[in-house]
Amino acid sequence: MTRNVLMFFMILTLLVAAPVYASDSSYAAITQSGVSNGAQYAMFLPANWNGRLILYAHGFIDPAAPIALPDVAPVDVAPWVVELRETLLSQGYAVAYSSYSENGWAVQDGAARTHELRDLFIQSFGAPTQVYVMGRSLGALITVYLAENFPGAYQGALPLCGPLGGARTETDYIGNVRVLFDYYYPGVIPGDVLHVPDMEYSASSPIVKAIVAAILANPHYAAALAAVDQVKVPYTTPSQLILSIVRALGYNIRGTNDILARAGGQSPFGNVGLSYTRLGLPDLFLNAGVGRFSAQAGGIAYLTSYYQTRGALAIPLLTLHTTQDPDVPFFHEAAYAKIVAAARASKWLAQQSVQRYGHCNMTPAEVAITLGQLVKWAEKGVKPVSGDVTLNLALASPESATGYVTTTTSGELTFDEAILSAASGLTLP
């Protein structure tokens, strides 16, 4: 009762001292925003605050895009973030997130800006009883960085569809998709995997249209590319095959120069000496003809720092990942499990999956349910069961998706559906 009275007066005081933006949230009693270390931030306190604070770390944003909060940009994910925020606020959680002060492969800055939210929140609202960190995509890697390096600051971590096998594992996947595409479709994309001229990458852009047209003209090459063991591009339909390749190539085209700039111009990607295989057997023609590139020490060192996961867990960490993720492949989960096992910290790791195509193709309601499991583990010692939770989420949430998430934002659907529509009716030999 004493705590509730104190909370009442604290909220009453803040309502007078801090601005309230009713349009920002339907469930927040107080919304506070500002700028810290070059990054925008926003914090939301519900009237029925349960004492828990959720810090959310956003994913990769085009390096050329303006700095913006994740509830504003990118347009393909922002409505999902808003819905997740509102869902958590309605359940009594306080929520805070940052724009970071830079876009692109912003693991270092994103971790620092997300970590400082805890102190910013305490300065405005007082100390929470528990703090949890969660993130999506690149934000999931940031989440693991914080969990492994600052375990005393958080009670638990929830990374969603993240490159948890490490930064180089992810950049190798993207790099290999590009060099394989250039082998099967030479000349379609200007430059090469490490020399990428600035290009627009939207559904209507010339380069995306050229990539789709090339695949439609020779779809059997796309199937051959996807079957290479080193990439195993996920798909269940011909249209998904094209979309998976287009999305992976987008990260090479929009992200390569950003990483090279951060690494002093030195590349972390290399395939010299790599034998490309299918079903474990070397492809002699592919290995003889594919472009070869050497990784450099500076690039490797940079991605080791930001970030090669170490598995050094001391707090509960629960992952959730779609099994057919074209951007951050599901194989990252097995890779991280091995890393954690080598660090003898498996008791702190639980991993759940959803049988579904798409990058982070899960509803905010499903994420909130998963967060509830993490909280129960951290506070009551009930560790969630690892494995496929597709049916469990469908039973627990009427909004659970059985196919492509219907609540996915209009912006994301515009890009993905444009690619899927372009490939409609395609059959593979």
Q: Which of 255-264, 364-373, 396-405 has the lowest mean pLDDT?
A: 396-405
Neighbouring-strand partners of residue 32: 43
Residue 412 has pLDDT above 60, yes or no: no
Q: pLDDT band for 417, please (50, 70, 90 cuts).
A: confident
Q: Average of pLDDT values for 239-259? A: 97
* Closest residue by Cα to residue 337 from 164, 172, 168, 171: 164
Q: pLDDT band for 428, please (50, 70, 90 cuts).
A: low
Distance CA 150, CA 274 (A): 36
Q: Average of pLDDT values for 40-55? A: 97
- Enter the tokens of residue 128: 């929470």
Distance CA 272, CA 318 (A): 36
| Rg, Å, the chain Cα set | 22
pLDDT of residue 427: 72
Distance CA 71, CA 79 (A): 7
DSSP character at residue 264: T
Chain-wide mean pLDDT for the chain? Answer: 91
Each residue of 163-202: pLDDT tens digit?
999 999 999 999 999 999 999 999 999 999 999 999 999 9
Report the sign of the C-alpha dihedral through residues 34, 63, 143, 397, in that order: positive
**Contact, 343 vs 204, CB < 8 A?**
no
Residue 314 has pLDDT above 50, yes or no: yes
φ, ψ dihedrals at 321, nearest 5°: -150, 140
Each residue of 325-381: pLDDT tens digit?
999 999 999 999 999 999 999 999 999 999 999 999 999 999 999 999 999 999 999
Distance CA 147, CA 131 (A): 11
Residue 13 has pLDDT above 50, yes or no: no
Each residue of 278-295: pLDDT tens digit?
999 999 999 999 999 999
Q: Average of pLDDT values for 3-13? A: 36
- CA distances (Å), origin 242, targets 156, 202, 238: 37, 15, 7
Neighbouring-strand partners of residue 133: 55, 157
Each residue of 69-92: pLDDT tens digit?
999 999 889 999 999 999 999 999
Q: Average of pLDDT values for 49-58? A: 98
pLDDT of residue 20: 35
Distance CA 218, CA 222 (A): 7
pLDDT of residue 159: 98
Distance CA 189, CA 197 (A): 10
Residue 259 has pLDDT above 70, yes or no: yes
Each residue of 79-137: pLDDT tens digit?
999 999 999 999 999 999 999 999 999 999 999 999 999 999 999 999 999 999 999 99
* Closest residue by Cα to residue 323 from 352, 364, 281, 343: 352
Q: pLDDT band for 14, please (50, 70, 90 cuts).
A: very low
Residue 1 has pLDDT above 50, yes or no: no
Q: Pick the residue with more confidence: 15 or 269?
A: 269
Coil, helix or strand at residue 357:
strand
- CA distances (Å), origin 342, targets 163, 226, 352: 18, 30, 20
E strand or H helix at 32:
strand 28-36
pLDDT of residue 11: 36
pLDDT of residue 429: 61
